[in-house]
Structure formats: C-alpha cells, structure tokens
Chains A and B, each alone.
Chain A
C-alpha cells in the first residue's frame, strides 16, 4: 500500500505544549482503534496472498507466527481471478463506467451552479431549491421507471411520447443514470463554492467584455479546482463502488459487467473460495484506494469548504 499523505494541510499546527496530560492515554486509545479498524483489510490482503490449501485449512492470522516462510505466499490467486474469472475485463468496464460517470455530472453541475450563482433569470430560486431538494430522492425509487424508459419508452394514453431508446445494457445508459443521481449533491456543493467567489473578479471580467461562457471557462473553472477535485474523488469512489445501479442497468452477466457485479456473482457462485474471493475483492479496492491516497488532500479541503462554514 502507498504511504499515507497528511489528511489536512494544517495537521498538527497547534501550538507546542499542547500534548500535556493524558498523552499516553490518547496515544494508546488511538492506536487501539486504528488496529481494530485495520484488522478486516489486513485479513483480506493476507488471505489473497496465501495458497488455496493453506487459506482453506487455517486462519489468516496464523501466518503472523512465521511471516517469512516463502511457501506460505503466492500471487497465483490474482492470476486466476484476472484471467479465469474475467476480473481483468470487468476492471476495464469499471473504468469505462466510472470515468465518464464522474466527469459528466461534474461538468453539468458546474455549469448549473454557475448559472444559479451568477446569472439573473426568472424562477432561479425555485429551480435551485428543486435541484437541491431532489438530493433526498432514494435512488431505488428511480431505478424501475428509468429501466422501463430505457427498454420500453413512454406510452401515454396510447400515444408513444418517448421512443424505445434501447439504452439498457449500454454505457450511455449507465452514464446518464449516474449523472442524474449525482447532479443534486454536485450542484449543491459546487454552488456553495462558486457563489462564495468574490463578485469583483466576475464584474471586472464583464467590463473587459467577456461573456458568461468565457468567464466560466477561463475564470470560474480554474478557481474552483479544489471543489471540483473533491467532488470528483467522491463521485469516482461512489460510482466505482456502486453495485446497485450497475446491476440494474448493465446486468449480472454479459460483456459489460463491472467489478462489483463480478464480485457479487463470485460470492454467489463460490461462496467458500476464499483465495479467489479475497484476490477479487482486493482488485476491486485497488484503484479507489490509490485514488484516495494520492488525492485525499483535495478531498478533505473541498468537502469541508462548504460543510463546515454552514
């Protein structure tokens, strides 16, 4: 695993002389909680690196007694999961789902947030309230009608209003679905950020003759990078880890299935094959963990920009 990067820039910036009484108590409590939190992940990592015969016959913790016996370690499980169980394929599908499903909602929400924050038009307030209010519609409620929309179109009083779009089992369909589910939160967070930018810079750009599109593209987007990055990480982890939407719109089998769905199928089919399950589980975790550890600075800074002030 990669080396942890500081979670916040100002970590430990308090004045010296801070750690006075109870220093050891704090230390011990923190270490205990961290160890407790790590146990499950460590178990998966160790099991995924042990040969089948051993992980079937003894608990993963027994390895800790003699960690340097090379016969106890293997990479075979990863090879089996990637080639034999189609996890290599599913990994690529997950990329094809997750990257556009991260960029599209953020782009649309950033444009909308700018519109709500800096443009004058009728019904602005009502529209914004509606968008933010939709944040609490349970995703589960939307799945059924959208699936029917994708497969059957809309027929009202015998007239076909929307044709059969044939979007089921397609990447475009799942991008649009993730976009719809992601926009309310994205608009809310980005609005908080974009609306708080000083109005003087926008006014002076207008005086210089820039239109809204130019202001947005050359001024707002560069200034909003922390907020955009924070939401990008959040949305990426969400989409990558999503099982429900992928299961409904891309299906459990077929060439387009993503990692979480493949993992779920593997649990169902081979509930006791620990060496395979753990290797597969670690493959699904690898990318979000890497993304998180490399970009977490932005994540915390951007997410808390809106939440803490409120």
Chain B
C-alpha cells in the first residue's frame, strides 16, 4: 500500500517530464525502460493488494490497524488504477493509443455500472420467474402471488400514499420556509441550518428519535415518556398507541420522512429563489402587487423547473422507502404499515423466497421507468440548449 501512495505523490511531477517523449514517434531506448517500470509497478501493486486483502479478512488482526489499512488501500487503490491504466496505454503504438484513451477515463465507470446495475436488472428479471430457491421456472406464479397477497396489496397502497403525500408536504413546507427565510435578513442562515439538520441523521437514528415522540405504555406499566402521550396526559386524556392506530400510523411514519427531507428541498429551493433578479420582484411591488401575488405569479413560476426536479427526487426516494418501516420495533404486518421495498427485503432475506423478492423488485423498477424516460428526455432538451 506504500506503493500506491508513493505513485500518487510523484505523479504530478512525473507527467510533464514525459511529455516530450510521448510525442509522435516516441523514444525507443526510453520506452523500454518505461515499460519495465510500469510492468513492475503493476506487479508490485497487485501482489500488495492481494496480501492486504488477506490481512483485512483475518479475524485476529487489531481493529484500528485493519480500519486504517482499509482506508489507505481503498482510497489509494482507485488512483493507482487510473495511473496504471494511463501508463499502459502510453506504451501502445501511437495510432492505437488515442483511440483507446477515452476508455481509460470512462471505462471503469462503465464496467462497474455494468456489473452493479445493468447485470442485476436482467438477473432479477430472470429470478422473478423462478421458485423460492431459484431452481425451477414457475412462470408467472410469483407475480400472481404479489398481486393477490393481501399484505402486498396493502404495501402497494401504502407506498402510493408515501409517494404522493411525502413530496407534496415536504416541498410545500420547504418552499414556504425558503420564501419566508429569504425575507428574514439576520438569522436566516442559522434557521436554515437547523431545518436541514435532520438530513444528516440516518433513517435508523431517526426512528429511535421519533420513538421518543410516539412511545406508548398502558397505564400502570410505567410512566409514558413519549412526548405526544405526555401531552395527552397533560390534557387529561388517555394515552394513545400512536403506531398501532390504523390507518393513521402510516401518516405518523410519513411525518418522519417529511422531517428528514424538508431541509433538502428548502436549501435547493432557497438557492433558486435567490437567483431570481431583485429588479423583477421590486418592479412588481412598485406596480402594487401584494406579497401573495409576488409569491404566486413571480416566485413560483420562476423556480418551477427547480420545484419539479426536487419533487421528482423526493418521489423516487419515497418509492424506495424501507428503513423507516423496517427499524420500527412494532410488527409492520400486524400494524398495516408495510411498504413495497420493505416487503421485498422481508421476502428475500427473512422469509427466504428469492422469486417473490425478485418479482417485487421488478415491480419497483417498472414503476420508476417513466421517471427514467422523463429524465432522459429532459437531458436531451438541455443538450439541445447547450
């Protein structure tokens, strides 16, 4: 691993020197020497990598040093990869070299995407037509199961609720807050930071956080330490089992996601609002427009593209929501809070049925295809403008 570090540091110094030699024709005596150097670096690098990965797996190694080595190797390795590939291409004949060079740059991304996204799409499709242990083909049985199973139907309904309500509420609050904060003057930055803060919290952490709000204990089994039930008791009411209160418990879980994502919407929308020229707004005010008219006729239309982008991002996020439901200690099936992505994980990893898990994944994918088509179209339009 020392190897890759060293390569990194002497890289900027080494490359300009080599420029004259790398011109058309190239040096002959020099290039043999360089070839040996590059091949040597590749061999040493590979051997070191293999040794290091054995070390990372050893169960007895000291944790701190394992972690330190892992970070250095992981970070250094990727730069070593590009450096080596570029050097190898330098060694090739000149007529071939420049045609291949772009693939040094885009090749790794394409390979990794091929393995981690393209291959899985086709593989999942195949698995969804096979049985629970992926041995025999069962035709459309898994899909039939998915669309007749009661929990699954409920999960589809719930997910539809998530991806309609969460983006609308989060974007609305974000837009309102951004507009108001823009006119706050002093303290604007601090206020925005505090709204954005939940973005930095994991879904797992957020779920613990919100249990302190929703927690319930029957009377006589300890005092209620959840904030909502504290308020109920303070008002002289009976405590409520918030997370078992169907169908409202779905809404209570959505509140958690709104709490986490509003900050993101607010920050992006706020930047868009600030990019509206002041003159336009001032002119409208001088013409006698009310603040509501300024908001509805000038601010919103001007930042509409940004609102659309943010909303789309939230819809995709809501469609994939899993953690918030999965980490709840209460049983999602009994409480009716199941969602599609959570069903998929449960069938695949906890109920051990590959086919059904894969079928649910395919349905998720089909649901986002329209978004993908829209995304590509939007990119084409942008390209046309460029």
Contacts and interface: CB of A to CB of B under 8 A. Distances in A.
Q: Which residue of B56, B202, B341 has the most chain A CB atoms within 10 A of its CB atom?
A: B202
A183 B110 CA distance: 9
B200 A288 contact: yes
A274 B215 CA distance: 11
A184 to B, nearest CB: 7
Given A133-B375, A142-B120, A37 B365 contact: no
A243 B361 contact: no
A71 interface: no
Interface in B359-386: 361-362, 364-365, 368-369, 371-372, 375-376, 378-379, 382, 386
Contacts of B173: 33
Contact of A307 (B205, B306, B323, B368): B306
Contacts of A129: 376, 379
A4 B202 contact: no
Q: Which residue of B119, B193, B198, B207 has the most chain A CB atoms within 10 A of its CB atom?
A: B193
A41 interface: yes
Interface of A: 4-8, 10-12, 14-15, 18-19, 21-22, 26-27, 29-30, 33-34, 37-41, 43-44, 47, 55-61, 89, 92-93, 95-96, 99-101, 103-104, 107-109, 111-112, 114-116, 119-121, 124, 127, 129-146, 148-149, 170-172, 175-177, 179-181, 183-184, 187, 195, 209-214, 216-218, 237, 240-244, 248, 255, 259-260, 263-264, 267-268, 271, 274, 277-278, 280-281, 284-285, 288-289, 291-293, 296, 300, 303-304, 307-308, 310
Contact of B196 (A7, A144, A277): A7
Contact of B278 (A15, A30, A119): A15
Contacts of B310: 307
A138 B364 contact: yes
Nearest to A242: B202
A251 to B, nearest CB: 11
B229 to A, nearest CB: 9
Interface in B1-35: 11-12, 15-16, 19-20, 22-23
Contacts of A37: 194-195, 197-198, 259, 262
Interface of A is mostly: helix
Interface stretch (B66-74, B135-143, B163-171): B66-74
A27 B192 CA distance: 13
Given A12-B188, A304-B272, A146 B116 contact: yes
Contacts of A171: 56, 70, 74
Contact of B225 (A56, A210, A308): A56
Contacts of B289: none
Contacts of A308: 268, 271-272, 275, 306
B109 interface: yes
Given A5-B189, A134-B113, A267-B208, A26 B180 contact: yes
A111 B194 contact: no
B379 A132 contact: yes
Given A44-B208, A92-B67, A99-B74, A209 B19 contact: yes
A120 B365 CA distance: 33
A41 B197 contact: yes
Contacts of B187: 30
Contact of B190 (A4, A8, A57, A210): A4
B181 interface: yes
Given A61-B230, A96-B71, A7 B267 contact: yes
Given A41-B209, A289-B197, A308-B268, A138 B225 contact: no
Q: Which residue of A38, A58, A179, A216 has the most chain B CB atoms within 10 A of its CB atom?
A: A179
B252 interface: no
Contacts of B103: 121
A194 B63 CA distance: 39
Contact of B208 (A140, A142, A278, A288): A278
A130 B177 CA distance: 36
A175 B189 contact: no
A310 B365 CA distance: 26
B259 A112 contact: no
Given A34-B191, A60-B212, A284 B204 contact: yes
Given A4-B190, A263-B204, A145 B120 contact: yes
Nearest first, the 4 closest Cβ-Cβ pairs linking A and B are: A180-B116, A100-B74, A115-B105, A241-B202
A267 B99 contact: no
A116 B63 CA distance: 40
11 contacts: A30-B184, A60-B227, A136-B368, A145-B120, A211-B15, A214-B16, A241-B203, A243-B327, A263-B205, A296-B193, A310-B305
A10 B109 contact: no
Contacts of A237: 199-200
A310 B183 contact: no
B116 A18 contact: no
A179 B138 CA distance: 34
A34 B123 CA distance: 46
B127 interface: yes
A207 to B, nearest CB: 12
A264 B345 CA distance: 15
A259 to B, nearest CB: 8
Nearest to B126: A145
Given A37-B195, A137-B120, 8 more contacts: A30-B177, A40-B209, A40-B212, A177-B116, A244-B345, A255-B63, A271-B329, A280-B208
Given A248-B349, A307-B306, A212 B101 contact: yes
A97 B151 CA distance: 35
B153 interface: no
B27 to A, nearest CB: 15
Contacts of A7: 188-189, 192-193, 196, 267, 270
Contacts of B368: 136-138
Contacts of A143: 120, 348
B44 interface: no
B118 interface: yes
Contact of B271 (A8, A137, A175): A8
Contacts of B110: 112, 127, 131
Contact of A18 (B185, B192, B345): B185
Nearest to A39: B227
B117 interface: yes
Nearest to B182: A14
